[in-house]
Homo-oligomer: A and B are copies of this chain.
Amino acid sequence: MTSTKTNPGNYFEDFKFGQVIVHPTPRTVSVGDVALYTSLYGTRFAVQSSDAFAKAIGYPQSPLDDLLTFHVVFGKTTPEISLNAIANLGYANCRFLKPVYPGDTLSSTSEVIGLKENSNGETGTVYVRSTGRNQNGEIVLDYVRWVMVRKRDKAAPAPEAIVPNLPPRVDPSELGAAVPPLNTSQYDYALAGSPYRWGDYEVGEKIAHVDGMTLEEAEHQIATRLYQNTAKVHFNQHTEAKGRFGKRIVYGGVVISLARALSFNGLNNAFHLAAINGGRHVSPCFAGDTVYAWSEVLEKVEVPGRTDLGALRTRLVAVKNNDCSDFPLKDADGKYADGVMLDLDTWVLLPR
């Protein structure tokens, strides 16, 4: 008697506009997760690394790295959203709304906010807004992503096409919600690793983050399981050997975290990732690739109501096997250059 109690994942026709999905397995995050996150990416932002530093400027203790929160919330959504996805097409309007501390329990829900069948009749794009909440039901994070999902049955009728209207960027008034009022006089720039504050950066400034990190299979698998992300392409060489690339694909979030950790060298005081305005995984990353990153300052704005910090809108680009001293992005014909893996549009906050 064969059971039907397993989750085969959702197909395009399983998603309905307005549907709200409760994702399984809430997760209490801990200093264990923090240590693993450090060991996997080598991140060095002082606020997240030192309770003493965080307390001095007004936090009750070090908050989790924003991307650790993101990956935990994201990981939960994979069994229902992207198990049958062909591609993770993009992110938008990702806002970090409350700090998360060790001991908090995170859970995720998603709402289907758009659906569009592709002309081939075999796949469609699903837009979801996913929301992470803590144990008190407070929203700590929300973001939109869209994925290309297979249809189970090519003959299934196409739903009405609805494509959400996404803002080009998170409004500056929405930034800073996850940062308490800072006692900036206690912010120690020597300990933080750089004298450069918000006011020292200029629009158009490009920063090659110098270092490169070579990724191993064990590393990205350990990271991705830490987030309870179950997407098969990251873990199963037995099937991926027969797949498109012949090998496992690194979870895109690992590339984001590596790029963000590398960005410390040059953006040392950009201690908080306040928003991801948009982003694309331009090309896949595999074990053995060496990840480099560079940033460009796109905008420099004050945060309404905050005199303690300011926001930089930065493009964060991750590139494989290229030290980024020439800031690779696109070719003359407008296509992404070879090796570019990630193009992420973010807001980061720095003390003023």
Q: Which residues of A come within 8 Å of B, CB atoms?
A: 1-3, 5-8, 22, 24-28, 30-36, 38-42, 44-46, 49-53, 62, 79, 102-103, 105, 107, 135, 190-194, 196, 200-202, 204-214, 216-219, 221-226, 228, 230, 232, 235-239, 248, 265-268, 288, 290, 321, 323
Contact = CB atoms under 8 A, between A and B. Distances in A.
Given A3-B205, A6-B207, A213-B221, 9 more contacts: A5-B196, A6-B209, A24-B192, A25-B46, A28-B52, A30-B31, A49-B228, A212-B236, A212-B238
Contact of A26 (B53, B201, B210, B265): B53
A35 B36 contact: yes
Given A36-B35, A38-B226, A135-B52, A237 B1 contact: no
A286 to B, nearest CB: 13
A103 B237 CA distance: 37
A61 to B, nearest CB: 8
A221 B222 contact: no
Given A62-B28, A191-B26, A52 B237 contact: no
Nearest to A266: B6
Given A3-B207, A38-B225, A225-B40, A236 B27 contact: no
Nearest to A322: B238
A248 B46 CA distance: 27
B191 A22 contact: yes
Contact of A6 (B52, B53, B107, B210): B210
A290 to B, nearest CB: 4
Contacts of A38: 225-226, 228
Given A39-B226, A191-B107, A7 B265 contact: yes
Nearest to A8: B210
A217 to B, nearest CB: 5
A44 B228 contact: yes
Contact of A25 (B30, B44, B323): B44
A216 to B, nearest CB: 4
A25 B49 contact: yes
Given A5-B194, A221-B216, A235-B212, A26 B52 contact: yes
Contact of A288 (B3, B102, B237, B265): B237
Contacts of A42: 224-225, 228, 230, 235
